[in-house]
Amino acid sequence: MAARPEPDGVHRRLQEWWDADAEVYDRTASHSASDPVEAAAWRAALLRYLPPPPARVLDVGAGTGTMSLLAAQLGFDVTALDLSPQMLERAREKAEAQGALVRTVVAPAHDPPPGPFDAVMERHLLWTLPDPAAALDAWRAVIPGGRAILFEGIWRPQDPAGRAKTWLAGLVRRALRTPHDHHGEYDPELLDSLPLARGMSPRAVLDVLAEAGFARARVERMRDIEWARLLAEHPILGPLESVPRFAVLADA
């Protein structure tokens, strides 16, 4: 059996991958929330799940700052954390253009700034963490008495129907000449080093939250976000690429 990559090597490869992806990431509407209906749905979700503004919020895996900026627009005190300097540079450019105040910190997810924060949030990050429980444990330490809000989806479905939809979506994308959402794909070795890359589910998230010491977890299906995404997508491609999205809340 091949040796598992060392964590530092994995983080370096992840940083390099996302630095390269910063060039194309925001061209996908679901990444940038450039569709006004989807942006409005995300604002509603943030107000529903976060403590009231001006709560101090740590956005982990902030990327180009989509969620950070939406939260800042609502009056939250936001710090954006990401391991990719290039992604956070895009976030700073967008914040400056909007006149928004968002602090940025370049570091991996398991090394958050000390805070303290009232809440920590992430969107579509857990699948790409080498040790999700260790990262969540580090987040819990910087939100004493606060809460975690995890926005996730069931990516890379492994059931036959899910695989068939993914295959068919690829055919439709090629027929429509729709570019890939990213600059490329993770290689199989990198995917193998990420515990949730092929197994994201509400149960998996609840398990890592419990392992990290969080309590009173709650799960909600985010049908409003799914609906907004479908409205913005191609009428054939959208349903093929739609995945169940859910929010998990837990107390530190």
| pLDDT tens-digit series, residues 146-191 | 999 999 999 877 778 888 888 888 888 899 888 888 999 999 999 9
Say which residues have a Cβ less than 8 Å from residue 196's Cβ, sequence separation at least 6. 126, 127, 129, 132, 204, 208
Residue 7's pLDDT band (cuts 50, 70, 90) = low
pTM of the model: 0.93
- Answer yes or no: are the C-beta atoms of 65 and 80 closer than 8 Å: yes
Residue 248, helix vs strand vs coil: strand
Which pair of tokens denotes residue 126? Answer: 């857990």
Which pLDDT belongs to residue 94? 98
pLDDT single digits (tens) 208-234:
999 999 999 999 999 999 999 999 999
What are the sequence ranges of the domains in the chain? Answer: 7-251
Query: What single letter denotes the amino acid at residue 39?
Result: A
Which pLDDT belongs to residue 67? 98
The residue whose two tokens read 């450019």 is 93
Count Cβ atoms within 10 A of the Cβ of residue 52 and give its class: 0-12 exposed, 13-18 middle, 19 or more buried: exposed
| Local structure of residue 180 (DSSP, 8 states) | P
Which pLDDT belongs to residue 4? 39
Which pLDDT belongs to residue 168? 86
Q: Across residues 64-77, what is the average pLDDT?
A: 98
CATH fold for domain 7-251: Rossmann fold (3.40.50)
Residue 238's pLDDT band (cuts 50, 70, 90) = confident
